[in-house]
Amino acid sequence: MERLYQPDFSSIFGARYANAFIYGQIDSLIWPIFSDIGRSDALKKLLELKNKDGHNYFYHRQISLEDEKVELFSSDITYGLVQAMNLQRSYGITNEDAISVVKKEPDLFKAILSFDLNSNVISEIKTIENQIPVVGVVIYPSFIKLDINNPNNQNLNALINYCKDNDYFVKIDIGNMNFQENHPEYTTYDKIKAFLSNNSDIIIILSGLDFSGDFMLYYQLLKLYNNLWIEIEPRCFGGMTPTSCFKQIFSLKGFIQNTWHRITIGSATPTLEIAQMKRGLLEATEVLNFSHKHILRTWAFRNVNRLNLINFKSEIEPNLFKPIKEINQINRIENNNELIIEYKLKLRSYAITQLLFLTDIIKEIFKRSLEENPDLKSGELFIRSYHTTTSLIINEHEYGNYLDLHYMFAEISSRDSAPFLHTVRALENRADFNHYDHELASTYGSRQLTLPIVDGRLEIGGRENLYILVTFGPRTFHIYIKIKLIKEK
């Protein structure tokens, strides 16, 4: 359902991400622990660690790589991020453990690497890049006693700069794992805040938060730093089911509005099945309002696609979903008083109801006309829609406002039209059943707009932007544009 009512995300994330559904869903945290894959000595020691009651510190299900592939496929997950864990101890999960898994299925798995920051890691990461796809690195400050804000730590700074240059994210694990010698003073709120302030040009993902504990503390930082993302995974649960945890998180005032595009979801397989995380999200979002439900189901498992252009490919050519198909100049009339240039645009929507962003298209046509006629600086630009289920709208293009408008229109158009008379066979010998589409087009916006041209610019407000509401789609449709330029005597 979310695919049928999705917005034109190109006006938020750029043309490459216009259609979210051409990208696969991603499990952002998988530990490379499978019964049929060899293990490093460090990993063997990690799995042998037991507490005083004889229970394993690191619980894991006994599953094979084939079992994991079935779990991912059954949950409609396209990629899994396999994560290392370098704790600078005799136990952990080495990069070699991650490499062994990714090499088996490089189209399915990508690596999140972890390094001993007591040595230069750049040559090591370059060597690994030649073997497998890499998407990010993870550090564990509270276990390795790492001051992430130490300007003299050349190895850490070199790694951060390398990640910036290669579109790798940096994941910081807060350290909520039951290992001895954990030093939480290295991942305090102030430490993380300072790190974010000093590294505003790289994506930072916080992982390992406990909702019943430190989640609320670090959540405040999401409101301050746009480069901060948060990973939701089993350590967040704090005794809750996945569904309950998601419900609690989504009930936080402002959380969805601030972070729908900055969350990742990981299963921590083989700790938990990705199916349980997927079910939890679907059940928790079922009770949300239309816009929140749709936006979370669209992006929560897809956000990571936007973090690495090389390794996460679209399944369909993204250019297919450009709103504009053709721009044709159909007429040019000139006399002693004015110049009139007429265009017909062929556009495309790719959802049942979609609010398409027109500002850039209109400005490009306007710019082209003025460049061809630089001496003519006054007149008007006229826009006309031909269709009874479309409407031209002017409003602010703040992406939250845009999404609110889009989903409001989508929700209205999704209502049942059965009680209305516009359900009989139409004159074209087909069934019509789109009362609300016609109602939307008649109620909101206008079929035509006129914009003044003053001193070579469109006279519109600083926050005004142009949209066209298109219902009863996906469809191609046309709009007419006439630019009239006055010859001043």
pLDDT at 7: 97
Whole-angstrom CA distances from 155 to 150, 194, 225 are 11, 18, 25
- CATH for 318-486, options being 3.20.19.10, 1.25.40.10, 2.60.120.460, 3.40.640.10: 2.60.120.460
Per domain, the residue ranges of the chain are 24-307, 318-486
Report whether 487 contacts 337 (CB < 8 A). yes
pLDDT at 457: 94
Element at 19 (helix H, strand E): none
pLDDT at 190: 97
Structure tokens at 274: 């990705």
Phi, psi of 201 (to 5 degrees): -105, 25
| 324-334 and 464-470 strand pairing | unpaired
Which pLDDT tens digits describe the chain residue by residue (489 residues)?
Answer: 999 999 999 999 999 999 999 999 999 999 999 999 999 999 999 999 988 888 888 888 999 999 999 999 999 999 999 999 999 999 999 999 999 999 999 999 999 999 999 888 999 999 999 999 999 999 999 999 999 999 999 999 999 999 999 999 999 999 998 888 999 999 999 999 999 999 999 999 999 999 988 898 999 999 899 999 999 999 999 889 999 999 999 999 999 999 999 999 999 999 999 999 999 999 999 999 999 999 999 999 999 999 988 899 898 998 899 999 999 999 999 999 999 999 999 999 999 999 999 999 999 999 999 999 999 999 999 999 999 999 999 999 999 999 999 999 999 999 999 898 887 766 677 778 899 999 999 999 999 999 999 999 999 999 999 999 999 999 999 999 999 999 887
Report whether 219 contacts 183 (CB < 8 A). no
pLDDT at 264: 98
pLDDT at 293: 98
- CATH for 24-307, options being 3.40.50.10440, 3.20.20.60, 3.20.20.140, 3.40.50.2000: 3.20.20.140
